[in-house]
Amino acid sequence: MSTTSSTFNPGKGNGEPVGIAILGHGTVGSEVLRLLNKYEDDLVHRIGGAFELKGVAVGDLAKVRPGVPKELFTDDAMELINRDDVDIVVEVIGGIDYPHEVVLAALRAGKSVVTANKALVAAHSAELAEAADEAGVDLYFEAAVAAAIPVLGPLRRSLAGDRVLSVKGIVNGTTNFILDAMDSTGASYDDMFAEAQRLGYVEADPSADIDGHDAASKAAILASLAFHTRVTSDDVYCEGISNISATDIKAAQSAGYTIKLLAICERLIDDNGQETVSARVHPTLVPRSHPLASVDKSFNAIFIEAEAAGRLMFYGNGAGGAPTASAVLGDIVGAARNKVHGGRAPGESTYASLPIADFGDVETRYHIDMEVDDRIGVLAETAAVFSDRGISLRTVRQEEGGEDHARLVIVTHKAKESDLAATIESLNNLPAVKAVNSVIRLEGE
């Protein structure tokens, strides 16, 4: 539907454009600026009023930035934030400490904020939300999880009347690329990590991706929105993919699974009806029949289950300059509309304030790969260790190993993390067990 002269507002009600300031001009910031220019005419109509870029804060003014007027750049972010003609501040710097300082200052100065910074939101969501409420401004962060994939908006709006049971997903493209390549080629982790580096998927410091911290920040945000409870990255159990071997991948394939690094957020209910929230990130065996199993390369996907809506899946590019900038631009339009027409976006909802579950009480299934003595009675001795902790075995597969040992692969029924940890400790102390090669959790059945 086109905008007509009877509905079009030329500005904030007084003919002035909505002023936008961008903090950062890296991969995402430069793309946001390009798209603002490219789609300017359309965006004016989508907003319902005019907008104007007031400045771009950068760390190095001497750096050459072709195609952008020099006068737009400043190295004084605080001065830019506090200008009277700036209404919306877009933070695309990255990191936590300095972005925390400038975003908080912007909110307290009465500016709406759009950020793509998942680490910042996961660490300081409560403080930022409170500052936005006190100032009566918006805090948007759709791009903080899965870039262009619209998942936070549905959680905040479309599913606001439903009861979300779980959110599970692939939210890191680097690790998905590595695991998918290992699965399709049979190559080692080291080889596929090197390939990911060659293709530019790996950051200079890869630990945030490889060790699962990037996904943990996103899990905290997803859990907070899904369960109306404040969840920070410190509340998320985190385990990376560097210990996944080609042998693990092959074993998963033989059993009909693939391995994915999943962010898993769940509403748990104990025998007394007490509800808690669990958020965790770790390598996970996923059945080949599950929709998440087919998510390949560096793509992301989030699988949501709610009582009334049932199962929903969101899929697409979860990283990169253009996809992230697309989500940022959508948030800019939303914030600018509110400046033109009045009103605010949905704020933080923490009414449920559910306790965070102790990780030891979380239940899932497990795939355990071990080397044992190749002799009569070993299977019974091993099974007894599981039985002592009340863990039921679903399948047991024994394969030939070396000259004097065999390979034993066990899949359990659901068991508590604390019971499984104690079982692994007992297995490591059992003379018949030469080594516990891997323990990988199993989801999706």
Instruction: Output the known binding site.
Output: 23-30, 118, 203
Provide the sign of the torsion angle of the four alpha carbons 304, 307, 239, 285, taken in this order.
Answer: negative
Give the separation between CA 120 and CA 127, rounded to whole angstroms: 11
How many CB atoms within 10 Å of residue 89? 28
Determine contact, residues 26/63, Cβ cutoff 8 Å. no
Tokens of 164: 């979300």
pTM for this one?
0.94
- pLDDT at position 200 is 85
Q: What share of the chain is helix, strand, coil (3-state, %, to 5)?
A: 40, 25, 35
Q: Tell me which H or E stretch contains 323.
A: helix 321-341
- pLDDT at position 5 is 42
Give catalytic residue positions.
218
- Please name which of 26, 16, 33, 80 lies closest in space to residue 54, comparing C-alpha atoms: 80
Domains of the chain: 15-147+321-341 (3.40.50.720), 152-316 (3.30.360.10), 362-442 (3.30.70.260)
Tokens of 19: 């002023």
Instruction: Output the known binding site for L-homoserine.
Output: 203
| Segment-wise mean pLDDT, segments of 10 residues, the chain, 445 residues | 46 82 96 96 95 96 90 96 97 96 98 97 96 96 95 95 97 96 97 93 89 97 97 97 96 94 96 95 97 95 97 93 96 96 90 96 96 92 96 91 85 97 97 95 91
Measured between its terminal Cα atoms, the distance across the chain in Å is 45
- pLDDT at position 14 is 67
Q: Name the one residue in this structure whose structure tokens are 């959508």.
A: 330
- pLDDT at position 198 is 92
Name 442's bridge partners: 285, 365
Determine contact, residues 443/286, Cβ cutoff 8 Å. yes
Tokens of 331: 């948030």
- pLDDT at position 392 is 97
How many CB atoms within 10 Å of residue 104? 17
The helix/strand/coil state of 304 is strand
Instruction: Output the known binding site for NADPH.
Output: 118
Determine contact, residues 162/189, Cβ cutoff 8 Å. no
CA Rg value for the chain? 25
Give the separation between CA 129 and CA 137, rounded to whole angstroms: 10
Instruction: Output the known binding site for NADP(+).
Output: 23-30
- pLDDT at position 307 is 97
Give the separation between CA 168 and CA 264, rounded to whole angstroms: 4
Give the separation between CA 439 and CA 104, rounded to whole angstroms: 42
Show the 3-state SS of 18-69. EEEEEECCCHHHHHHHHHHHHCHHHHHHHHCCCEEEEEEECCCCCCCCCCCC
